[in-house]
Amino acid sequence: MPSISRSAMPALVLTLAVGATMAPWSAHAQDTGWFSQPKMTGDWGGVRTKLQDDGITPFVAVLNEYARLFHGGNRQGGGVAQQYYGGLDFDMDKLTGWHGGYIHFKLDDREGPGTSQRNIGNELEVQSNYGSGQNFRLSELSVEQRFAEGKYILKVGFLPAGNDFDNMVTPLCDFQNFAFCGHANPLFLNSGSSVYPDGHWGGDLRAWVRPTLYVEGGVYAVNYDYLTPDHGFDMSLGSSDGAIGQFEVGWQPKFGPDKLAGDYKFGGYYETSTWPDIARPTENRHGRYGEYVMANQTLVSFEPGTKRGLIGFMEGVVGDSRTSPVPQFYNFGVIVQGPWARRPTDYIDFGVGHAHVNDRSRGVAEQTAVNSLATTGRLEQLDDTLQAYGQYGETDYELGYGLRLAPWLLINPNVQYVVQPGAFTHKNLPNAWVFGTQLVVNF
């Protein structure tokens, strides 16, 4: 196993030192005072509670993700990708008597370098909060209406489709790597569907046909301009690239006497956009489609009546092979929630995620490169070229510990290992070892 470079050592030592010194202390400190309150800034002298009683819920949070490549990849180094987000939720029943009505307003600001782009050269981000323009943007301005005491939920406005489809933010955003956090994310690489913080015009309707079973459908505009750095508040429809229809069926059972909770989803999409064939870029294909399956299940309860337990999860994506850069994707792993009774909100997580390179595009690119070598007489490079194009996909591993120091403060040191980081760029890059840390503060 490679040694840790001097440049990565200070961050590792600092994080482990904080965890080691504060973990036993915070377990006691959470019972009283500052470390027991839900938000870092408290109740604002009663103002926060008054606002919530009146129907206005404000929220502000910061998510910092540090990642440093200390072996392999392109070049050692790293940095911090920062995300600031906040907004207001309005309960219109409390405010105006509009029964079942809600309005959601959310802003998001992302900045900082991406270690995957700058240092590693891989496809699945080692910092899940990097991307979507890396700018200040309007993420959501939507209206929600609940009917029949929540049996039917309608949402319309400017919002990310990922708020309601292909969503397992809890518990999968315990991880830092893009391969795991919150969604079967390659779906958004293969289509014009949107994930937080990228809002699009559209809406969806969810119907709970049974207490544990729902069906959902939605339609959203597709607009790739929204992802560019200077379009954070662009809500126009003039440059729309088409529309995407999505569906999902979800089942949320509880098994056995311990009521072991599960969450199972199956869904898909069809997009009306015209997109270049991934193997023949001069030929256009009309319409893109794909499916996904997601599941997480509490396998063992450590303490019945609490969330402490062993959770297993898996996700899978199948995309349109004509246009999808990642036509197959899967992940799986486990989360140990509350590993010790004294630390019920801490967790240990381990996951494996794999993104498969489109065989059609890889084969064409490989043949083009081989022909170029033959034409120019550089056949001594043939073995290296065949090895580069012989990489069928990228596989990411992550092991982390989530240290919940307070309800509003989380530190999550983790180690990630990226196998074949150059698979999607057809480069021979050494497997990459990455040290990461998430810092989440809810104000």
Greater pLDDT, 162 or 22: 162
Burial (CB < 10 A; 0-12, 13-18, 19+), residue 45, is exposed
Side-chain-side CA neighbours of residue 278 (13 Å): 21
Q: Output the furthest CA–CA distance in the chain (Å, rounded).
A: 78
Looking at residues 310-330, what average pLDDT do you find? Answer: 96
Cα separation of 71 and 80, whole Å?
A: 18
- Confidence band, pLDDT 50/70/90 cuts, at residue 379: low
Looking at residues 243-270, what average pLDDT do you find? Answer: 97
pLDDT at 366 over 70: yes
- What is the reported pLDDT for 52? 97
Q: What percent of the chain has pLDDT over 70?
A: 91
Give 260-311 as a DSSP string.
EEEEEEEEEEEEEEEEE-SS-TTSEEEEEEEEEEEEEEEEEESSTTSS-EEE
Q: Which of 8-17, 232-241, 376-385 has the lowest mean pLDDT?
A: 8-17
- Confidence band, pLDDT 50/70/90 cuts, at residue 317: very high
Please report whether residue 125 resides in a domain: yes
- What is the reported pLDDT for 32? 59
What is the reported pTM? Answer: 0.90
- What is the reported pLDDT for 7? 42
- What is the reported pLDDT for 294? 97
pLDDT at 362 over 90: no
Looking at residues 155-178, what average pLDDT do you find? Answer: 95
Please report whether residue 381 resides in a domain: no
- Confidence band, pLDDT 50/70/90 cuts, at residue 162: very high
Please report whether residue 4 resides in a domain: no
CA dist list (Å): 272 to 185, 201, 275: 20, 15, 9
- What is the reported pLDDT for 56? 98
- Confidence band, pLDDT 50/70/90 cuts, at residue 14: very low
Looking at residues 269-285, what average pLDDT do you find? Answer: 92
Please report whether residue 369 resides in a domain: no
| Residue pLDDT, tens place only, 207-253 | 999 999 999 999 999 998 888 888 889 888 877 889 999 999 999 99
Q: CB under 8 Å to 377, separation ≥6 — which residues?
A: none
Domain range holding 301? Answer: 9-357+392-442
Q: Which CATH number covers residue 115?
A: 2.40.160.180
Question: Across-strand partners of 110?
Answer: 83
From 415, 315, 323, 322, select the one nearest 355 (Cα to Cα): 315
Q: Round the average pLDDT of the chain to a whole number and report it.
A: 90
From 142, 67, 79, select the one nearest 416 (Cα to Cα): 67
- What is the reported pLDDT for 401? 98
| Residue pLDDT, tens place only, 74-132 | 999 999 999 999 999 999 999 999 999 999 999 999 999 999 999 999 999 999 999 88
Please report whether residue 377 resides in a domain: no
Q: CB under 8 Å to 373, separation ≥6 — which residues?
A: 379, 381, 382, 385
The length of the chain in residues reads 443
- What is the reported pLDDT for 367? 77
pLDDT at 198 over 80: yes
Burial (CB < 10 A; 0-12, 13-18, 19+), residue 375, is exposed
- What is the reported pLDDT for 406? 95
Please report whether residue 145 resides in a domain: yes
| Residue pLDDT, tens place only, 30-48 | 455 888 999 999 999 999 9
Looking at residues 264-289, what average pLDDT do you find? Answer: 93
For the chain, what is the domain count? 1
Please report whether residue 59 resides in a domain: yes
- Confidence band, pLDDT 50/70/90 cuts, at residue 296: very high
Q: What percent of the chain has pLDDT over 90?
A: 77
Please report whether residue 199 resides in a domain: yes
